[in-house]
Amino acid sequence: MTGITDTALIGIDWGTTALRAYRFGGDGAVVDRRASAHGILAVAGGGFDAVFEETVAGWPDCPVVISGMITSRQGWLELPYLMCPAPVGTLADALHRHRCESGRTVHFVTGLKVRDTAGVPDVMRGEETQILGAITVGATEPRLLVLPGTHSKWVLVKGDEVSGFSTFMTGEVFAVLKEHSILGRMTTGETRDQAAWRRGVAYGLDESSDHGGLLRRLFSARSLALFDELPRAGVASYLSGLLLGAEVREARHFFGARVSGGSVLLLGSAALCDLYAEALAFAGLSAERGPDDAAARGHWRIAAAADLLT
Amino acid sequence: MTGITDTALIGIDWGTTALRAYRFGGDGAVVDRRASAHGILAVAGGGFDAVFEETVAGWPDCPVVISGMITSRQGWLELPYLMCPAPVGTLADALHRHRCESGRTVHFVTGLKVRDTAGVPDVMRGEETQILGAITVGATEPRLLVLPGTHSKWVLVKGDEVSGFSTFMTGEVFAVLKEHSILGRMTTGETRDQAAWRRGVAYGLDESSDHGGLLRRLFSARSLALFDELPRAGVASYLSGLLLGAEVREARHFFGARVSGGSVLLLGSAALCDLYAEALAFAGLSAERGPDDAAARGHWRIAAAADLLT
């Protein structure tokens, strides 16, 4: 068993609704972990120092790296986004040193931004650390990563550099349509209908211009049920599949020319990653799951690049 | 003034939330009109006869044509949809005679359906009558009509025949995102921001694959506001424009090859038609508004084709 005095680093993934803290041994392995519901939304203004001290109580004084929405406008302090492409070294150089009320020093990882040719920005905070923790250093082929969620992120990585990314609002569009639209009101029951889901994925993925875009295809969830060609109990599953299929279709067009092949790396909960893997397989894309502790691995990698590990 | 004895026809446009009744003189002009909030949702099961009698009270016994959601599952009686292409004569032939409790006979117009190459159906009930009332009989060039609304309909008409159509859930997607998503929570105020709306339309319409599809573009409403590049008070207007631009882009791809040119005919409220006309102009498409009384004109035309006018 690793003694507490072996601690080389503390990493904290401090998000909107949750906080996860990791204590690392000298070899980079996570030797202790703590989690709480003290995401930034739950912490009153000015309360971040207290939550931090509570989180690391009893752990030795050692370098601390903190990533996530904690550096957003509603967080402990706001940091600007770094422009992509961003190699791991850039993130390490941009670590923001902050002296806590207790006198302890912490290092904040900042988020990333990118702009399309219309100048429209896209942003991430926290995912950059998970991505760096999940990728293979030294890989030369461009690789696609997907972080499923309310707003899923598709990320293009080259070597140890985040070249670009794109956010898809699929999860939130599904949630509001299911809860508040006529499509949700048509559905009965909450059971997942695998056949309906697969049918939705297929229709969402289909490239035929005869099927139109998403605003048209959405209506199929209603019209198929109207003709009893989709069971009412399966409308929500169908809609979920349709939106995920549309996301994969959009993303394939968006990143298509920039990725030669290889499997997509999925970072997130097992349930969501399984759904994405199945939808990607429909589209002829293979996928594999990244490590569970991607954020912790990222903390370690950024700390190493910043020479915080002694 | 036309006397009540001149009445040649009564037409009723009986929708989900409203009912509009028209009394026609012998020359086809509307000489009297009544409206109520007794849409089918407001009429208890079995109450349709009573609402009908109240609606036509004092009007002479003459042919009656009724169109709209009244023939849906939740309506007075359910009628099947006719498959497109559907010429006006087909709709007249399919009129469904029904004897009311009072002994009066009414004729129901049924709706239309179409299927794409994946077999997915699309449907309309009521719009077919408005369309027939708005088009020019004898025209030979294919023409696009748009009926804006919660679920807008784009319709391809050739001569007096509805060749095909497509439903876009744009209005409902906007409403649920504005009311229930993070995009709505970011917005402040209800004032329409014309500059933000136009910017949204432009981004929604843009054909650049660098901008991705709708699920990606939606996030721009958040990211632009995050960077103070879109005023918070303009987020809802921007989102409205973005979705409408995306609808026009989708529809142009969907119908593109089937329409050679000419202006789009808009049927609906002046406010919505103005928005659509402006978005269509952005896309290089000219538009004009159809007649206000399109449904009534359709009742007359169908009645004439069915030899109900003596």
Domain range annotation of chain A: 4-138+292-305, 170-289
ipTM beyond 0.85? Answer: yes
Please compute the mean of the pLDDT values over residues A272-278 and round it to a whole number.
96
Of A169, A176, A229, the CB nearest to B215: A169
| Dist CA A158 CA A171 (whole Å) | 27
How far does A126 lie from chain B, in Å, by closest CA? Answer: 16
State pTM to two decimals: 0.94
Dihedral angle of Cα A117, A118, A120, A124, to the nearest 10 degrees: -10
Interface test with B, best of A82, A120, A223, A242 (most B CBs within 10 A): A120
Backbone angles phi, psi at A96, to 5 degrees: -105, 115
- The pLDDT score that the predictor gives to residue A60 is 94
Paired with B143 in beta bridges are: B157
Please compute the mean of the pLDDT values over residues A62-66 and round it to a whole number.
97
If you ran DSSP here, which 8-state letter would residue B115 be given?
A: E
pLDDT digits (tens, 9 = 90+) for B283-304: 999 999 999 999 999 999 999 9
* Cβ contact A212–B253 (<8 Å): yes
Residue of A nearest to B243 (CA): A215
- The pLDDT score that the predictor gives to residue B3 is 61
Interface test with B, best of A82, A169, A211 (most B CBs within 10 A): A169
Q: Identify the H or E element spanning A52.
A: helix A48-56
How far does A297 lie from chain B, in Å, by closest CA? Answer: 28
CB-based burial, B38-55: b 16+ in 10 Å, e otherwise: bbbeebeeeebeebbeeb
CATH of A4-138+292-305, one of 3.30.420.300, 3.30.2290.10, 3.60.140.10, 3.40.47.10: 3.30.420.300
Helix ranges (DSSP H) in chain B: 48-55, 88-93, 127-134, 170-180, 182-186, 194-205, 214-217, 220-226, 235-255, 270-282, 294-305
- The pLDDT score that the predictor gives to residue A4 is 65
**Homologous superfamily of A170-289 in CATH?**
2-keto-3-deoxy-galactonokinase, C-terminal domain (3.30.420.310)
* Cβ contact A118–B206 (<8 Å): yes
Give the confidence band of A131 by pLDDT, cuts at 50, 70, 90: very high
Is residue A1 predicted with pLDDT exceeding 60? no
How far does B149 lie from chain A, in Å, by closest CA? Answer: 13
Of B122, B169, B182, the CB nearest to A215: B169
Instruction: Indicate the range of A68-72, A123-127, B75-79, B88-92 predicted with least confidence.
Output: B88-92
Give the confidence band of A310 by pLDDT, cuts at 50, 70, 90: confident
* Cβ contact A120–B224 (<8 Å): yes
- The pLDDT score that the predictor gives to residue A3 is 61
* Cβ contact B216–A254 (<8 Å): yes
Of A179, A215, A226, the CB nearest to B170: A215
CB-based burial, B59-82: b 16+ in 10 Å, e otherwise: eeebbbbbbbbbbbeebbeebebb
Interface test with B, best of A69, A151, A219, A254 (most B CBs within 10 A): A219
- The pLDDT score that the predictor gives to residue A138 is 73
| Dist CA A48 CA B142 (whole Å) | 65
Residue A309, burial from CB neighbour count under 10 angstroms (0-12, 13-18, 19+)? middle
Identical fold at A4-138+292-305 and A170-289? yes
Q: Which contacts of B150-157 are long-range, i.e. CB under 8 A and separated by 24 or more positions?
A: B150/B175, B151/A219, B152/B247, B153/B124, B153/B127, B154/B251, B154/B254, B154/B255, B155/B127, B155/B131, B156/B255, B156/B258, B156/B259, B157/B131
Angle between helices B170-180 and B235-255 (to 10 degrees): 160
Residue ranges in chain B whose pLDDT is less than 50: 1
